[in-house]
A and B are shown apart, each in its own frame.
Chain A
Amino acid sequence: MTTPTMAVTVLRAPRAARADLTFGLSVGVLGVMVAAAAFAPLIAPYDPDAVDLAAFYSGPSAAHWLGTDALGRDLLSRTIHGARTALLAPLAVVVISTAVGIVLGLIAGWRGGWLDSVLGRLFDVVFAFPSLLLAILAVALFGKGLVAPVIAMSIAYAPFVARLTRSLVVAERSRPYVAAYRVQGFSPPWIATRRVLPNVTPIVGAQSTLNFGYVLAELAALSFLGLGVQAPAADWGAMINEAQAGILGGHFLPALVPAAAVVLAVVAVNVIGEEYSNRIGGGAPA
């Protein structure tokens, strides 16, 4: 059946170290991106919107580390400035959806009964609208830009958070430690908010971290479709949209640089989210 291999035993320690390494790298990547977003005007070598028609599609050089686009704008500067909308908008979505979702999930899970059924039906309806579809509908109603999609995606993601919170709260509520608090004479609202909630928030937080990656990708896709951030602005999705024509002419960098930024950000967030949920997995009563 199973042949014993001592090699595996030896491999074990480095594996943990490797997990720490990728986690550290991911935190580093995200840190650099946050710093880039915060201090973009100080870091970026050029004005992101400065057109230099003489230097269009110039490859990487000392002057332009990552080259320029069809209008001769510096890709590095544009990518650095693009980090602002790329990170801020998903952050807004995750914060709003997590706050709303935790409150609704706690109410549904703790109260149960008809309130739970009504909220559950409501979640079902919102679930039927994929987040990107709801964002597209919001653009169709309120016009292009990021504000309407951010609100729409917050609404779309809130039921995910609420469902997760609800299921965790329901599981916690049936655990004897909650019954023990009640037997000791603590009031149910106190138990729910002061004792059960802190036990479920780490798991919800880990999921919300993963959601951040999805939202980032979806908002970039919206700008790529021309429905989000509009063209001249430096935004990763919008940059790729603009650069599409260049690809067919063999000019890959203007599209691939912002694309790489999107992928890198999503990978970093996913690794952090998964590692985080692995770490709390041991301590949480799940």
Chain B
Amino acid sequence: MSALRRVLGKLGGLLLTLFLASLLVFFSRFLVPGDPVSFLLRGRKPSPEAVAAVNAQYGLDLPPWQQYLSWIGGVLHGDFGRSLQYRQDVGAVIGERMPVTLGLVVMAGLMIAIVGLAAGAIAALNRGRVLDRSILIGLTALGAIPSFVGAIVLIAVFAVQLGWFPSFGSGDGGIDTLYHLVLPSTALALVFVVLVGKVTRSSMVDQLGREHVEVATSRGLRRGTVIRRHVFRNSIGPILTVSGLLVAGLLVASSIVESAFGLAGVGSLLVQSVSRLDFPVVQAIVLLIVFAFVAVNAVIDILEPVIDPRAAAGGGAR
């Protein structure tokens, strides 16, 4: 079992999952009963040009598997078809809105990493004490606040009542954009901070009870050294795994936050496109989110032996 074989195996699994997911995204349309042209042109005048355009884009007279091949072939070349709403290439429409979403997700990601890890670590190192219980109660309470509730509460308090932050839009770039993204990324981060905080705590508590930690302590290492080199080092695995699973949720939740704060990002585009029956855009965004999720988790999977040497040997429950 060489490392290379392992990585190739993981990549094979990644491609298989992506292939199956793309099948699901594409053929979901076939679940809708009735004529595909009238489904794709719901709510629009089925003008002859529009019908011709949809026919050309999807090749609707071809057998289903050929339709899939031409669609996925286009996707692989970056061609997601044309938006019915914007009369532009879907790729261009999404590309325009990508920076806002990336900014939002990166900022939220940083908050999640810093606050979640800190809260979890502090709770774990004080396990059983008042501080630990307070953090746990705080996390449980925060975890019950869905992002849309967080968004409206933040708007009500910090934008409307106190007027510290803007409640709408993404600003004019640079510092102003960061400033505009503070409240949205806070709303987005809330639930995920809780998940990262809880897994950090439980993973570290688990390690703190391990015998090798006691051995390190018995050798006369300082507590800080023990925690850094043994407890935290060995807790990274589960934290990373959970973080990987959170990526997809973060991308989807950004659609809620972007809608609430009127940000022109990919997430709000998804919601609008559903409302405006712009199926090609919906299809493309769903595929992108799935791709991002699968790719991130494959990378984490491939990195696992670096974190846990036993994984390389094929064994290794933590």
Direct contact of A and B (CB under 8 A): yes
| Interface residue? B153 (CB, 8 A) | yes
B21 to chain A, nearest CB (A): 5
- Asked if A140 CB lies within 8 Å of chain B CBs, one says yes
Interface residues of A in 230-283 (CB under 8 A from B): 237, 240, 244, 247-248, 250, 252, 255-256, 259, 262-263, 266-267, 270-271, 274
Contact A140 B282 (CB under 8 A): yes
A259-B152 CB under 8 A given contacts A221-B147, A227-B275, A270-B140: yes
Q: Does A226 contact B (CB under 8 A)?
A: yes
Q: Beyond A125-B21, A267-B144, is A259–B153 a contact (Cβ under 8 Å)?
A: yes
- Residues of B close to A263: CB separation below 8 A: 144-146, 149
Query: Which secondary structure characterizes the binding site on chain B?
Result: helix
Provide the bound-state CA to CA distance between A266 and B255, in Å.
21
Is residue B293 contacting chain A, with contact meaning CB distance below 8 A? yes
- Cβ A129 vs Cβ B21 within 8 A: yes
Given contacts A128-B21, A132-B252, contact A137 B286 (CB under 8 A): yes
B152 touches A136 (CB 8 A): no
In the docked arrangement, what's the CA distance between A243 and B286, Å? 29
* B248, B251, B252, B259: most-surrounded residue (chain A CB, <10 A): B252
A110-138 with Cβ < 8 A to chain B: 121, 124-125, 127-130, 132-133, 136-137
CB distance from B30 to the nearest CB of A (A): 10
| Binary per-residue interface labels of chain A (211-240) against chain B in the complex, 1 for a CB within 8 Å, 0 otherwise | 001000110110011110000000001001
Q: Does A139 contact B (CB under 8 A)?
A: yes
A53–B242 CA distance with the chains assembled, in angstroms: 50
Contacts of B147 in A (CB 8 A): 221
Residues in B neighbouring A217, C-beta threshold 8 A: 144, 146
Residues of A within 8 A of B24 (CB): 125, 129
- Residues of A near B152 (CB, < 8 A) are 240, 244, 247, 255-256, 259
- Asked if B69 is an interface residue, CB under 8 A from chain A, the answer is no
Size class of the B contact interface (CB-based, 8 Å): 35 or more
Q: How far is the CB of B184 from chain A (nearest CB, A)?
A: 14
Q: Chain B residues with Cβ under 8 A from A127's Cβ?
A: 245
Query: Which B251-300 residues sit within 8 Å CB-CB of chain A?
Result: 251-253, 255-256, 259-260, 270-271, 273-275, 277, 279, 282, 286, 289-290, 293-294
In the complex the two chains form, what is the Cα distance from A215 to B98 in whole Å?
28
- Indicate whether A244 sits within 8 Å of B153 (C-beta atoms), given known contacts A129-B24, A224-B148: no
Contact A227 B271 (CB under 8 A): yes
**Cβ of B20 < 8 Å from any Cβ of A?**
yes
| Chain A proximity mask over B5-24: 1 for CB below 8 Å, otherwise 0 | 00000000100110011001
Cβ 8 A contact of B160, one of A125, A221, A237, A247: A247
Q: Which of A136, A227, A255 is packed against the most chain B CB atoms within 10 Å?
A: A136
Q: Are A128 and B28 in contact (CB under 8 A)?
A: no
- In the complex, what distance in Å separates the CA atom of A274 from the CA atom of B140? 10
Q: Give, as a whole number of angstroms, the nearest-CB distance from A223 to chain B.
A: 9
Q: A129-B21, A141-B29 are in contact. Are A250 and B160 (CB under 8 A)?
A: yes
B53 on the A face (CB < 8 A):
no
B155 interface residue (CB < 8 Å to A) = yes
The complex places the Cα of A141 from the Cα of B13 at a distance, in Å, of 28
Q: Which residues of B contact A225 (CB under 8 A)?
A: 148, 255-256, 259, 271
Contact residue among A124, A224, A252 (Cβ-Cβ distance under 8 Å from B256): A224
B residues near A (Cβ < 8 Å) are 13, 16-17, 20-21, 24-25, 28-29, 31-32, 140-141, 143-149, 152-153, 155-156, 160-161, 167, 245, 248-249, 251-253, 255-256, 259-260, 270-271, 273-275, 277, 279, 282, 286, 289-290, 293-294
**Interface, chain A (partner B; CB < 8 A):** 121, 124-125, 127-130, 132-133, 136-137, 139-142, 213, 217-218, 220-221, 224-227, 237, 240, 244, 247-248, 250, 252, 255-256, 259, 262-263, 266-267, 270-271, 274
A-B pairs with beta carbons under 8 Å apart, 17 shown = A121-B16, A121-B17, A124-B17, A125-B20, A125-B21, A128-B17, A129-B24, A137-B282, A141-B28, A217-B146, A226-B271, A237-B148, A244-B152, A244-B260, A248-B160, A255-B156, A266-B146
